[in-house]
Amino acid sequence: MFTNESELEERLARPSAALVADLAGGRGDLVVLGAGGKMGPSLCRLARRGLDAAGRTGDRVYAVSRWTDRAAAESLAGDRVEPVPFDLLGDADLGGLPDATDVVFMVGAKFGTSAAPYLAWVVNAVLPAAVARRYPAARIAAFSTGNVYPMVPVGSGGSVETDPPGPVGDYAMSCLGREQVFAHAAATRGTPVAVLRLNYAVDLRYGVLADIGHAVLAGEPVDVTTGHVNVVWQGYANEVALRSLRHATPEVFTLNLTGPETAPVRRIAARMGERLGRPVTLTGTEAPTALLNDATRCHALFGYPDVPLGTLVDWQADWLAAGLPTSGKPTRFAVRDGRF
C-alpha cells in the first residue's frame, strides 16, 4: 500500500532487469515530447534510472513540455532529468529542440475535441509531421490509442494489430492520422518507428479504476453499458514504450499495449465496494461490444504486466480510501460515440 505520491512515483520509476538490458544495447540521448502529461514524468524518471543502471550515465533524458507546472519540472530536474520548456504548437520551428538518438512522442489532444475538432487534428496529426521532419534519423516510439479500432464483441478477445482500423469520431480518426504521418516518415525517410496502441493506463491518481472507485466511494451509480475494459499498470506501459525503441523499424512496428484481461466493469465495481465498505449501485445493461485490444504480441515480446489486475483494483481502492490525490480528470472510458 502506498501512503503518498512519492512512494507511487518511486514504484513507477523502478526499472526491470529486462529494461536495463535493452537500454544497455543503445546509445545517445532521449527526448520525451509531451513529458508534462499524465504519463510523462514517470516515464522520464524510469528512463533516467534505467539508463543509469545500464551504465549510460552520460546519455541525457530531455523532458519537453510547456512546463506550466514549475514544481513538476523542478522535481524532474532533481532526479537528473532535464526539463526543456517548449511550446510544441506555438513554435513552428522545432529546430530549438535538443538533438537525440531516441524520441518518445506522448503529445495528444482528446478531451474537448468534440467541440473543437480542429484541435484534435492539429495536435494529433499535424504536429507529428513536424516532429518527424525534426528527427528523421531518430528511433521514434509514438503513443497511439486503441480507439483507432472499432468496438468488437466482448467475447472476441479484442482487436489485434493486423485488424483493419475503424475509428469513430475526430479524436480516434486524428490518432490514426498520427500513425499514418509517422508511417509516411518511415516510408520516405527511413525513420525507425514504433506505434503503441494503448488502452488504458492505471496510475492510481487517474484511470478507469479511479473513475469506477470514485463513483463507488461517492455513492453514485456505476454505468455498466460499456461493461468491459482493458487496463494496464502505467509502469509497465512506460517500460514497454522504452523497450519498443529497439523494435522501431522503417516498416513500422505496431503494438497493442494493455493488460491481458477483458475486465468486467461490474466485477471491478463489486470489488471496489468490498474494499471501500460501500454499497454498489449499477445502472445500464452491458452492451455486446466494447473497445478491447488483444495484447498477445506485447506480452510475448515484453512479458506480462508485473502488477496484475486484482492488485491494481486493491491498490486503487486503498488509495481512494486514504484520501490520496487524484487528477480530477476522468477517462470517459464509457463513451461509445467517439465524442470526447
Position 312 scores a pLDDT of: 98
HEC assignment per residue over 95-150: HHCCCCCEEEECCCCCCCCCCCHHHHHHHHHHHHHHHHHHCCCCEEEEEEEHHHCC
What is the DSSP annotation of 250-269?
TT-EEEEES-S--EEHHHHH
Of 311, 287, 137, residue with least CA distance to 231: 311
Does a structural domain hold residue 270? Answer: no
Q: CA 95 to CA 86: how far, in whole Å?
A: 11
Q: Please indicate, yes or no, if residue 153 is contained in any of the structural domains.
A: yes
Q: What is the pLDDT along the chain (340 residues), one digit of tens a residue?
A: 799 999 999 999 999 999 999 999 999 999 999 999 999 999 999 999 999 999 999 999 999 999 999 999 999 999 999 999 999 998 668 999 999 999 999 999 888 888 889 999 999 999 999 999 999 999 999 999 999 999 999 999 999 999 999 999 999 999 999 999 999 999 999 999 999 999 999 999 999 999 999 999 999 999 999 999 999 999 999 999 999 999 999 999 999 999 999 999 999 999 999 999 999 999 999 999 999 999 999 999 999 999 999 999 999 999 999 999 999 889 999 898 888 9
Structural domain includes residue 131: yes
Is the Cβ–Cβ distance between 87 and 33 less than 8 Å? no
pLDDT of residue 92: 67
Classify burial at 220, counting beta carbons within 10 Å of its beta carbon; exposed 0-12, middle 13-18, buried 19 or more.
Answer: exposed
Q: Output the pLDDT for position 337.
A: 87
* Residue 109's CATH number: 3.40.50.720
Q: Please, are residues 293 and 232 in contact by the beta-carbon 8 Å criterion?
A: no
Q: For the residues of 29-54, what is the DSSP string, one character each?
A: -EEEETTTSSSHHHHHHHHHHHHHHT
Q: Are 61 and 81 in contact (CB under 8 A)?
A: yes
Q: What is the number of domains present in the chain?
A: 1
Name the CA radius of gyration of the chain, rounded: 19
Which position has the grid cell 523497450? 243
C-alpha torsion angle, residues 256, 262, 267, 273 (rounded to 10): -10
Residue 296 lies in a domain: yes
Report the SS3 class of residue 298: helix
- Helix crossing, 234-243 with 17-24: angle to 10°? 20
185 in any annotated domain: yes
Q: Is residue 321 part of a domain?
A: no
> Is 311 a member of any domain?
no
SS3 66: coil
Q: Is the dihedral of CA 295, 296, 301, 306 positive or negative?
A: positive
Give per-residue burial for 80-108: e unless 16+ CB within 10 Å, then b: ebbbbebebeeeeebeebeebbbbbbbbb
How buried is 57 (Cβ within 10 angstroms: 0-12 exposed, 13-18 middle, 19+ buried)?
exposed
The range of the structural domain enclosing residue 168 comes to: 5-201+232-260+292-306
At 111 the pLDDT is: 81
Q: Which amino acid is at 146?
A: G
334 belongs to a structural domain: no
